Amino acid sequence: MTDSAAALQPGNASQIQAFEPYQPGADEEYMSPAQVAHFRKILTDWRNELMAEVDRTVQNLQVENVNYSDPNDRASLETDMGLELRARDRERKLIRKINQALARIDAGEYGYCEACGVEIGLRRLEARPTATLCIDCKTLEEKRERQMAQD
């Protein structure tokens, strides 16, 4: 797996399938149709994988509706279910971000910083396909957040 593909790990959520990093041509314009198609595929594959996880969770919850008589077994099952539901909640939020990124692709706004309008960059988008800020604006935002947390 390449460094870019390895970086696509949505936290504790499932890991996206490996992909071939995009190699732009010498004269290729940023966010060319081929690049847009590349990122659309990454995002849709990622969303489909997350949705499959949701389906598996629903099936597991229906099947694992067992009434254990041992309190330890029951507590263990409830803890496991709680952890899985929290993971699915994080994935639900991630699916919403993926859908927003796909909407930005449709609107022709994908790949550009929402704060300053500069190109986010292919490698950053491959590492975090839902990114909306360039690295400079994201760094500033994180610094502000740390300062606010200290106050």
- Note the pLDDT tens digit of each residue in 48-78: 999 998 888 877 777 666 677 788 877 888 8
CATH number for region 29-110: 1.20.120.910
- Note the pLDDT tens digit of each residue in 24-47: 988 999 999 999 999 999 999 999
pTM: 0.77
Domain segments of the chain: what residues?
29-110, 113-151
pLDDT, position 9: 40
- Cα–Cα distances (Å) from 12 to 53, 60, 83, 94, 127, in that order, read 12, 18, 11, 11, 16
